[in-house]
Each structure stands twice: as structure tokens, then as C-alpha cells.
Structure 1
Amino acid sequence: MNKKRSRSVFLVSAALAVALMSACGANNNAAGGSEPNNAAGNTANGESNVAAPPAVAEPIMVNQALPQQEILSTGPHGEAAVSAKSLQLTADEVKQIQGMKLKAAIAMHYAGNDWSTAQIAGLKDTFAKMGVEVVAVTDAQFKSEKQVSDLETVMAKNPDIVVSIPVDPVSTAAAYKQAAQAGAKVVFMDNAPEGLQHGTDYVSVVSADNYGNGIEAAHVMAEALGGKGKIGVIYHDADYFVTRQRTEAFEKTIKEQYPDIEIVDRSGIAGPNDGEKVASAMLTKNPDLDGLFVVWDVPAEGALAAVRAAGRDDLAITTIDLGTNVAIEIAKNGVIKGLGAQLPYEQGVAEAILAGYAALGKETPPYVAVPAVKVTKDNVLDAWQLVYRQEAPNAVKDAAGQ
């Protein structure tokens, strides 16, 4: 496992030259373009701004410059992962799909971060190449009851495709099953609702290598602490397999590979806005903490605020997801030392390709994943390019001294 500590830094650097060339031919709105925070809102009312499909159909695939490494995560039912890099629509298949005049709806769990913005951008860009009209994008604001209502609303538009990430795998299950029974090809991000069957109720689940990202976050923590210290873990207190995998991987790696680092406290968050409150309570209870692992970047921003309020800028935070604010903190060698990054734009590309497979009647794997990427101060700008297919924002470049 020690070799995995540096695998992503090396692979990102090696892949960057190819990634840059690939990105030049891609839509540069990977993280939302000129309006990065409004990607979900632009079509929430059902208005579609999809461009006409290209006159010449071209093959569609996930960025082939992504790191070529073992994917360690398994699917929601223990399925082995198929690499997203293996997915492809040929030019002839794209032309067939363009002729179908399909409609798609995107139902997000939460659209207020860079991950969601990039995922939506990957879907929109790829659907545009396929001639698929996006008729709605919704934001459930992390509320399962709103997501059920959102699904009812978008199904009234008779979409052929629904791409969604369920807020809760239990309470939303019936709504997704109804969508499938109405004829929609349902593709999931990250998780499958309880009781739904691959091939019958949904096309596939597409995720990051969340287990691998948890491992990378653990290695970053160990490097920041010099291999010893006391840390706390802030996990997602919900039945959500991707966030559970991250935490399990982080804790297992710390316990097995870094015996001089002790996990002295664990606390759960119910949603993205709970990070500051939970971190503040943990710091009050454990004033001698040396580090915090926070399960994703938005609550990590809250934890950062709590650390600063406590006057503990000497503490190290690691997390998952490369959002703008955490990237700035990493770039300036601040409290957040690094993270394991997902590849949300490429997830969106893979989800759109799988929807195309379903439209064509092609067999689809139950679980598809993109690789993990380790991000530290040393490679934060290169990693941003790989994750979002565009240069880092000026605020991140400024923080990195460029």
C-alpha cells in the first residue's frame, strides 16, 4: 500500500500534458463556465438551452488521460467496478441517438457546490453532442421530500432519461421506481435506492473511487502530521454508501498503516451545513487534537471556520472533493492540507454515455467508477485542470503564488 501514497501525484503529472490537449477540444465550461454557481438553476424551470447537435457525429468517451490505476471501491450491492474509461459511443451510435430526439432531466440532491456544478456541466455538454434535450435540472437542497416532489415535476415533462443522485436511498425509492415504470431510463450518481434492480429499474450507478479517495486523504493526513498525533473524524451520519466508503477507507488506512496516529473522537453530520457546529464541539471536547478528517469539502469549510475560531491554525484538515474554497486553502498551505478528489465532470460524461447505451439497447454494467486523485499544494493547479477540464480560478492561482 505504501506505493499508493504517491501514485496520484505522479499520475496526475504524467497525464497532464495529454489532459491539456484533450481539454482544449472540450467545452471549457466544465465547472460551470462564466456562471459556475448557476448551472443547476439555469434550467430548473424546464427551459432548455441545448444547442443543435453537431452536423457530424463524433465518438464520445471519458477523458482517456485520466490516471490508469486500480479502482478500490465497490458498488452499492458489492458490485465490482467497471472503469469509466472503458465506456464509448461510436460516431454511428451517436448519430443514431441524435435521430431519436431524446429528452433528459437531471435531479440533483444538492447543487450548491463545485462538484454538482461540474457533474451537471459534464452531462449537459455530452447530451448536447448526442442531440439530447435537457428539459429540467432540479436541486433538492438535501431534502428527500423535495426530491420526491422534484421527480414528480420533471416526470410531467415525459423525459426519456433521468439522471439523479438520491438524497436518501429509502424514502426516494418509490419515486424512482415510478419513473422507471413510466419508461424513463434512470442513471444514478453514486447510489442506488433501496429495492431497485439493475437492468429493470435503473441503467447503472456511476461514482468516483470513494474508497481510494479515503485512502488518499489518510496519506495526506499522515504526511501533514509526520506520522503521529491525535485526530478526529467527522463522518456522514446517513445510510449513504459512498460517504461511508470514504470514512471506512480513511480510518482503516490510519489504523493499519499509521499506528502512531490515534483516532480519539468521531462525530456525524446530517448535511453539508453541519461541519462548523460538529467541529466546534469536537475541538471543545478534545483541545489537543492535531487533525480532522471531514467527509467532503462543504462541511470541511465549516470545520475550517471552527478551527480558526478556536485559534487552532496549527491543526491539519483533510477531506474529499476539490471545491474552490478548499483548493484556495490547500494552495496557500493553510489548515486544509490536501484531499482525495473526485472527477465529477467525467462522471457526468460517463452517465450520459450510459444513458445512450440504454437508448440503443446495449448492455450496461451495474457499477462504473472513475479513479481517485490525490491533491496537495504540490499539484493543486494540475489537479484542478484534470478534475474540471479547465484552468484553476484566479483565486486559486493567486493563493498558489501564480
Structure 2
Amino acid sequence: MKLICFDCGGEPPAAERGKAAAGTVMCACGGLFDIVRDHRATDAERLKRTFDARLAERLSPYASGVWRYKELIYPELPEASIVTKYEGNTGLYRPDNVRSYAGVRELWLKALSENPSGSFKDNGMTVAVSHGHAHGHRAFACASTGNTAASLAMYGALIDAQTYVYLPEEGVSRDKLLQALAYGARLVPLAGGNYDAGIRLLGANGGSPDLYVCNSINPYRIEGQKSIVFEIAHTLQWRLPDWIVLPGGALSNATAAGKALRELYALGFIDRLPRIAIIQAEGAAPFHRLVEQGTAQLTPEPRPRTAASALNIGNPPSWKKALRLAIEATNGVTAAVSDDEIMDAKAVVDRCGIGCEPAAAASLAGLRKLVAAGVVGAEETAVCLLTGHLLKDTAALQRAYG
């Protein structure tokens, strides 16, 4: 396994490698690290049988829908260091009313909202916290609009570690923060700052012996989030739909999805690459503008504004990874949807008995928009990621139904 900077292609200097192994998240050039492994000796058919056998696990770490795929995520980690709540194992549903609303031939909803803390963050957080735990860390931190905070606080509580949440002044769900507080997190307000300011602060301090950073700038988070695509592919017997559609906030999910697809294809688990569609809210869509305009650099949105609080990110830290791994590698696309379109799609998801928070509904809203524009064909198939639980933002429910 190597840590390679996604920007300059370099490894951490020899003097810094111990620090990097214990949590450094930024290269000296300012780029993000990526984890690179040599999988050439991997036997895909043997691993498929292993993954199938682990579906019967109930009490071991391999009952987790993340650690079931340990050989493709973090094979070096000692089993005793795994911190898990049996995350993953989330439902894949095919409701007819949602398919008709989107306008495609076949549509699945991946309900990542069924994770233990109620969001997709658990898929990555179990790996990040396990890595920090293995290296002896007792203090973990994140900047968060809510879901990352809740997930980190939950895993920190499992090992009786202290967690710190760097909290933006605006665009945060009260429900998610209460969840983090219940798990024992300490809130650190960012006076006058937003999520992006918190990422800059933690990126500068990452790797200190006293603080292990668990935002998606941590490459182990990305490794864990690959399991979302692994689990979809496994459930569908290694035959993926034409499109994977997901909300785009910090862009870690897009990065992880692209990396997972590339690895599955290279190893022979799948015989073609689906296309990825990344959906942002119109009030926080710097990545969509970059792709739409074909520019080389992302122009941050200084004051992102959307009712979908989890998408309220103006300078997504993983944009370079998402551009290369999700858009360029899969011939992917982006779209931006209004808050009204998001809430309309959310009502459709809610009424089919699955439910989701506003940010999660951006995937369905975006798919509907791409079908209407002719980008996605009516005869194509898709899976939409529902990233957060219905009760993650009760203020949105009160506005709609109160």
C-alpha cells in the first residue's frame, strides 16, 4: 500500500511517513493523498465466493457491509482494530412510482439512510476511525454540516474516544448536531466561518499526534465509501445499471464511486463501467459549473445557500478526485437542481415508504432532470443513492407538513 498525492504524484517524505500513516491528510503541495494498492494478484472469482460466504456472518466484523469487502478496502488492518456497528447492509429498493417519476426503464434506490447513524458517512467513517484506532489515536475531529459529525461521534463513542466537531455558523441541521452531542461530541464553533473554513483549518492541522482528522480529505474515508458500490454490485450479482446517480456536496461519494468502479472493472468483477451523474443544489453548485463550463479550476461559491443542508458546501475538497475518477473516467455528467425540485423529489421518496433527508433527494431530482434533457435515455437503468435518513432534518418536515 502507498500514499500517493493526487496532485503531484509524490509520496510523503521519509521523515513524514510515520506521521502520514497516523493520519496526515494533506500533501506538502496542498493536494490530497490517495491510497494505491497493487491488486494484480487478486483472484476475483475467489473473492466473490468469500464475499458470498460472509453474507451469513452475524457477529464477526465481516457481518459489516463494509468490512465484508476488507480485501478491497483495507487488507492490512488487524481484525482486532476494526471499529464497526455492522454498517452497510442497506436496502436496495425498486419502487414503481419512483421509477415512473424519474422516467427511466428501471430504477433502484440505495437507502444509505439505513446505516447506524442514519447516513452514508458510516461506510467511510468505520474505516477512518479503525485506522486511527489502530495507530493509537484517542482524539478525532471533523468539520461538518451534520452527518459527518453524527457518524464520527458514534464511532468515537464505541471506543470511548473524544470527538470534536468544527461547526459552521449556518447551514447546519439541528437534528444532526443533537445526535452528535448525544454520542458525546464536543462542538467547536467556527466564528464567521463555514464548512470550507473548517476543512482548511483541519487540513492544516491534520496528522498532529493529538488529533486525527476524519473528513473526506482523509483517504481512508474514501476507501470505506467504495463499499457502497461494492455492495450494490454484489446485490445485483455483479451487473450494474447504466447510471449511478448521487448528490454532490464535498464530493467524497463521487470520488469513492469512481474509484470503486475502476477497481471492480480492472479486477474483472464487472464487465463494463456505468456512468456517474453528480447532482448539486443550485445554490451550492461550483463543481457543476466547472464541468458545464469546461474550466480547469474550480471557482468556489463564497456563500452557498440551499435548503439541503448536507449540500451546503461552496468549495468541495475532493473536486479534483471527483473530476478525474467520476466524470472523466466514466464519461460522467453533472446537474444542478433547485430546492423546489429537491423537495418535490423528496416527497416522492417519502411517499413510497423509504424516505430521505432533502440532500438525499437531489439524486432523484437530478435524474429526472437529466432524463427530461435527453442526457439519460428513457430505456436506460439507474441507481440513485439516498444518502441520509428522513429524520435527519425535521425542520424540512415541519415546513412541508407542519
TM range (shorter): 0.3 to 0.5
Relative to the length of structure 1, the TM-score reads 0.33
**Normalised by the size of structure 2, how large is the TM-score?**
0.33
Query: Which structure has the highest strand share of the two?
Result: 1
Larger radius of gyration: 1
